[in-house]
Every structure is written in structure tokens, then in C-alpha cells.
A and B are shown apart, each in its own frame.
Chain A
Amino acid sequence: MKPAPLNKPLFTPGVLVMLALMAAGGIVIIARFIGGIGYVSNLTNARPWGLWVGIDVATGVALAAGGFTTAALAHILGRHHYEAVTRPALLTAALGYTFVVLGLIVDIGRSWAIWKPMIYWNINSVLFEVAMCVMVYLNVLYLEFFPIVAEQFKGRVNLPGIFARLNNTLETVLRVGDAILDKTMWILIILGVVLSCMHQSSLGSLMLIAPTKLHPLWYTPILPLLFLVSAIGVGYPMVVFETTLVSSSLNLDPEMSILSPLTRITTFLIGTYMLLKIGDMLFRGTYVYLLDGTHQTNSFIVEMLFGVMIPWVMLLFKRVRKSRAGIFTAATLIVGGVVLNRINVFIVGYRSPITDSTYFPAPGEILVTLGLVATLMFIYRVVVTYLPVLQSPKGAAS
């Protein structure tokens, strides 16, 4: 089977819901650029980072990890069997990182100055390294996606009306670009993995500069390692999660022959993560907090129990790994666990040591985040409708 554009109508009820959320988020974004960040958010001097950094940036980056983990498996380790899931994972990663940048544009105070880190370098800053990696990686992802566009349109560029004069130029761009990328793709693939390892871990280093502000259950010198391992660990569950969602909502082949072995690798990766987390807790003695009943501790327990331990145990059973519902449940729990971990590190576990501040995201913050997620899903839907990303539908000739 070859990947092919979907042969389905675009405007389904689900898509209309996405459009409504996008409109709501758009209105809040307009309000933010008229009234300021304070007008639409609950951010304060004691709470400079909230939902937008916790979800849009940190979680967005983590959940886009499917892109580099599948590329590493299929292309670098040469397990070509898994190539069927690399295209949707690549699309998710490219859209995920685009969403990270869009989220940052809303969150940073001087959005128009977002390019300045390219000129003004502070190599001591963890955030500088993250920003550089994300910027380069976003371009790497777009380039990796280019051949898919070329595959669909090469030799077939036919713009209507006055744009027709661009046909030849576009055709040349597609042909030359495709030829160059054909020779250099291996560099981009390795580069993508290297850049991902760098900034996935450094996202964890971000909080190391504020030892008094992050709850000891999460503040550990190995936070970068935990972020890296959890990102690698969440890559395949994310692929399982979205492939199952997409294939059931679009009535495609669920590809169990690929997803099932992916979850076996996941038991190993999540198991490693679990050992690191528990080992770190024992080593630093932070288990003393476990029963103090604060909302931070409870959130930590939920994260570990439902996000790590239960899905790990589930995936140990062959019966679960062979069942579509089983792997979907386990994958959803793991994805949820990593989301909660990032929320815990950047929001729940964050304490302002002097001001007594409680933070809950304002409706405006929530709407912006929902709107951005809806935009991402909508673009995904548009792209798979018109470009060869997903495997052909069940029973249809390819």
C-alpha cells in the first residue's frame, strides 16, 4: 500500500467544531494584541509562565517527539517495516513545532522581536539553546516534508488564472528541491534526531536555574535526562494514539502490525523512565512529600501512577499489545502522563517563594490554547486530505 490523499469531504461536523474553536481563540489573540497579555491572562509578576508555556510550548515539543523517534527507527536503524507511520508522525511533528512557535508569538511580550535571538546570543542561557534548536529543527521538518509535496504536485502544477504564469517556476522549484533533498535527506534525518535530543533535554534544564521555585518532587539535576527519556518514550505512544484516532475517525486500516511492535519498544522506554523517576526519588529522599496531601503531591502521584506505572504494566501483557483498544488505552495514558508531567513542572510544581500566588489559567489562556490545538488538527485534516500522508483506506484500490 502506498500513502495517498484521502478521498473524503473536508467539512464534517468535527471540522466545523475545530473552526469554531479556532475563531474563539482568534478573538482572544486579537484581544491580547490590543489590551496586552494581562488583559486576557492570569499571569503576574510572581507567575510569569502559565498555560501557554506549559502546554503550547513544553507539551507541544514533547508530543511532537513521534517525528524523530519514528525517523530514527525506520531510517537510521533501518527498520523499514515502520515506514508507514513515519509520514503521519512527521506531519504531526511539523505541525506541532509550528504550533509551538505560534504559541510563543502569543506568549512573549514583544512578538515582533522573536527573531532577535538569532542576532543577540547568550550562550549561557538554556532558553537560547532551546530556541536555536527549535528554529533549526522546524526548518529541518519542513524540508523533510518537502518531498511529500513534490510527490503530489511534481509534473502536475496547474494554477488557475493569472497564477498560471508561475507554473513553470513552481515546477522547477519542486523538481530541483526534490532532487537536492533526495541526495541530502540522510543528513536532515540525523540532524533532526540530534537537534531533538538537544532541545528535548534542555527544556528540562530550563527550571534548573530556579531551585527554590520548583517543588522538590520534580526539581532534580537529572531533569534534562528525564525530559529526554520521557520525550523518546512518548514518541511511539503518540503515534499509536493519533494513528488509532485518525484511522477510526476516517475509517482506515489501523495498521496493528506496525503499532503492536511499537508498544513493545515502548515498554522498554517507559520502563527506563520509570526506573529513573523512582530511583531519583529514592536517591534524593523526596518520597517524604508523597503523603502530605498537597495538590502538588497529588498531581505527582497521578502523573506517576496513571501516566507511567499502569500503562507500563498494561503493555507487559501480550494480550494488551495485540488488542487495538488495549494499546490505545495504554498509549493515551502515557501521552496523558507526559502532558501532566510538563504541566506539573511548569505550572503545578511552580511555587513563588515570596508572594503567595495561586494560578489558574484565565478563560482567555484556555481559549488560545484550544484554538491553537484546533488549528493544528484542522491543518492536519487538510493536509491528509490533499497530500499523500496516510495509507489508502481499507478496501480502496491504491
Chain B
Amino acid sequence: MELTRRNFFKFMGAATASAAALPSPAGAWESKAPPDPYGCLVDITRCVGCRKCEEACSKVNDLPEPERPNCQCTIFEKKRRPDHNAFTVINRYFTGRLDEFDKPLPTFTKVQCMHCQDPACVSACIVGALTKDETGSVRYDVTKCIGCRYCMVACPFEIPAYEYDNPITPRVMKCTFCYDIISKQGGVPGCAAICPTETITFGRRSDLLNVAKMRLKENPGKYIDHVYGEKEAGGTSWLYISSVPFEQVNLPVLADTPSPRLAETIQHSLFSYLWSPIALFGALGAIMFKANNHGDKPTDKSGGGK
């Protein structure tokens, strides 16, 4: 190891100059949400559990036929989750609501990717294989993916699924928001187009928020006074309104903070333009220079010591 005065200052000079040439570290965290995304409003009170949306989804996305597609009864006995064969599923919940004969009333809830405004998965993805599109769709580019599954860890809705049985080329599988369809004029996602009870309304997210709030206002007492997805995790493109508390139908209670904000703020304030590593390098270099230029000389030449 040779650390001469000349070597040291030459190297440090170059490092400092490159750091100084760059603008100052980035400021506060800013949302990267698209300005006017599409969305879907799901009115849980309208859903009858016909599962036509599951069928349409499978067709549009070239997935296997849904499990027992015509069954509207025993299929609901176990709670299902979207997986690598199904981007959306309907679940049935008994939340304690009763009909006029005191029989428990079911509540059906559709579940799929929420297409967050500032998605955790997009921020987490090591290679940027997941992106938030102008349309609002969170898209997956398999050609970049390495299969680390950090997106699955990050997602607060537990949506991305994995092809665990594929040994070489597994994919992350999740709702595409029918990107190819909605990016064309007049296109409507498969599930929203087929829904016979108009549970799913497709449109601009801003318009849907107005529609949702109007329904809450015009039907006092019918709905919980909350549009799920307006603010959850910083807002989602898919919105839900319901007559039963959302956590009872597996829509998790989430803070309004956009998921990526804390991690991105820490990362960017520490590592913008690599200022802190460069500063640390300089400080350690100065210490090393001072410590090794008087007193005992190092006896070793390797990084490993004597």
C-alpha cells in the first residue's frame, strides 16, 4: 500500500471536483404520479358475485379459464387471492348484515392490482421492470425482470404473484389494467366492460372520485363515508365504495403516506450525486494519510494485512 502525499491529493482533488461540479442534493420528495390517469370505481354494494369479470380477465390476458367458472357458491367457501393464473378474483364475505328474514347477507368484493399512484413495487424494482404508465396502469416488462421478488415484498396489497413452478423463466403476474385496450380511444378493461351490474365504472380517476362522492351524498346511510383508494398509500387508480367497513372485505387499513416516500427520501438525501460516499472517502483518506505518515509503518502490502 503506497499512500504518498502526491497520490492522495491527486485522487482526492479529482473526487472533490467531480462532486462540486454537480448540483446540490435533491430536495423534498415529490410524487411521480401521472397527471390525469384512468381508474376504476368499484361499488361493492352492486356486486352479486357472478364472476363474469374473472372470465373476461382470463380471456383478455390469455390466462387459463378461472377455477370452476360457473360456480357461484362453493367456490366462495375459501378466500382466494389473485395468483399467476388469475389477475382478479371475487371473494364473498359475511359481515353480519342481515336481510329481512334475518338471514346473513353476503358481500362480494373484487380484488386485483390497485394501480397505486406512487406504487411501492415501481419504487422497489431493482431494474425498473415495473413502471407507472401515463394511463395509470402499473406495467411489467419481463425482459428487464431478474426475479428478485422485492416488488412482492413491497406491495401493501399483496398483489404481485410469482410463477414459482417455472425453473428458468418465471414471471411476476398481476393485473395489467388491460393496458393495450385502455391506451386506445374508447377502450374499457375486460372486467369493467363485462360487468352486468355496473359494479365497475371505468373513467378518469378525477371524474370517478366525483362520481363516488356523489353516490355517497345521494344515498345517505347506504355507504361508509369513505372512498377507499382516494388517499390510501398515497392514492390508487382503483377506488372502492362500500356499505361495510373496508377491512372486513380484506381492503387493508393503510396510511395516506405514499409507500415509497420514506425509503426514497432516505436514499436520495444520502446518496444524491454520491455526496456522502465521496465525503466519507475523503474523510477516511485524510485519517489514513495522517495515521500512516508518522508512527509505525505498515508492514504489509496486501489489503489483507501481514
- What residues make up the interface of A, taking CB atoms closer than 8 Å to B? 2-3, 32-39, 41, 43-46, 48-49, 70-72, 74-78, 80, 82-87, 89-91, 107-114, 116-117, 120-129, 131, 143-148, 151, 178, 181-183, 185-195, 197-198, 202, 205-213, 221, 224, 352-355, 389
Contacts and interface: CB of A to CB of B under 8 A. Distances in A.
Counting chain A CB atoms within 10 Å of each CB, the highest count among B126, B255, B277, B288 belongs to B126
A348 to B, nearest CB: 15
A151 B302 contact: yes
B262 A221 contact: yes
Contact of B126 (A84, A131, A186): A131
26 contacts: A2-B306, A37-B167, A37-B170, A41-B164, A43-B162, A45-B162, A48-B149, A48-B153, A75-B1, A76-B288, A83-B298, A120-B129, A124-B267, A125-B150, A126-B124, A129-B271, A147-B301, A186-B7, A197-B277, A206-B150, A207-B153, A209-B154, A210-B153, A210-B154, A213-B156, A221-B262
Nearest to A128: B126
B167 A78 contact: no
Interface in B209-262: 250, 252, 254-255, 259-260, 262
A77 B287 CA distance: 7
Contacts, number: 269
Closest A-B pairs by Cβ, 10 of them: A109-B147, A144-B303, A86-B305, A38-B164, A78-B291, A147-B302, A83-B305, A48-B152, A122-B128, A48-B149
A353 B153 CA distance: 11
A70 B259 contact: no
Contact of B292 (A36, A78, A352): A78
A85 B300 CA distance: 12
A208 B262 contact: yes
Contacts of B303: 71, 75, 86, 90, 143-145, 147, 185, 188-189, 192
A206 B154 CA distance: 9
A110 B1 contact: no
A125 B280 contact: no
Counting chain A CB atoms within 10 Å of each CB, the highest count among B122, B148, B287, B291 belongs to B148
B277 A352 contact: no
Contact of A182 (B123, B144, B165, B301): B301
A103 to B, nearest CB: 12
B158 interface: yes
B94 interface: no
B148 A108 contact: yes
Contacts of A224: 266
Contact of B127 (A36, A117, A183, A197): A117
Interface of B: 1-3, 7-8, 11, 81, 83, 120, 122-129, 144-150, 152-154, 156-158, 160-170, 250, 252, 254-255, 259-260, 262-264, 266-268, 271, 277, 280-281, 284-285, 287-288, 291-292, 295-306
B271 A78 contact: no
A235 to B, nearest CB: 14
Contact of A126 (B146, B267, B299): B267
Given A45-B81, A205-B267, A209-B262, 4 more contacts: A76-B287, A83-B299, A189-B303, A205-B263
Contacts of A183: 2, 7
B156 A212 contact: yes
A113 B149 contact: no
Contacts of B160: 45
A24 B40 CA distance: 51
Contact of B147 (A75, A113, A128): A113
A80 B292 CA distance: 9
A151 B301 CA distance: 10
Contacts of B280: 193-194, 197
Contacts of A202: 267
A49 B149 contact: yes
A37 B305 contact: no
Contacts of B301: 147, 178, 181-182, 185
Contact of A110 (B170, B296, B304): B170
A212 B254 contact: yes
B2 A185 contact: yes
B269 to A, nearest CB: 12
A353 B11 CA distance: 50
Counting chain A CB atoms within 10 Å of each CB, the highest count among B1, B128, B263 belongs to B263
Contact of A190 (B152, B169, B284): B284
Contact of B164 (A36, A78, A113): A36
B168 A355 contact: no
Counting chain B CB atoms within 10 Å of each CB, the highest count among A33, A124, A129, A202 belongs to A124
B306 A110 contact: no
A83 B156 CA distance: 48
Given A36-B166, A209-B124, A212-B254, A185 B302 contact: yes
Contacts of B81: 45-46, 354-355
Contacts of B291: 76-78
Contact of B263 (A45, A49, A194, A209): A209
Contacts of B164: 36-39, 41, 43-44
B304 A353 contact: no
B127 A87 contact: no
Contacts of B163: 36, 109
A45 B304 contact: no
A87 B158 contact: no
B273 to A, nearest CB: 11
Contacts of B127: 116-117, 120-122, 128
Contact of A189 (B1, B158, B250): B1
B305 to A, nearest CB: 3
Nearest to B251: A354
Contacts of B150: 48, 125, 127, 206
Contacts of A39: 164-165, 167
Nearest to A124: B123
A185 B1 contact: yes
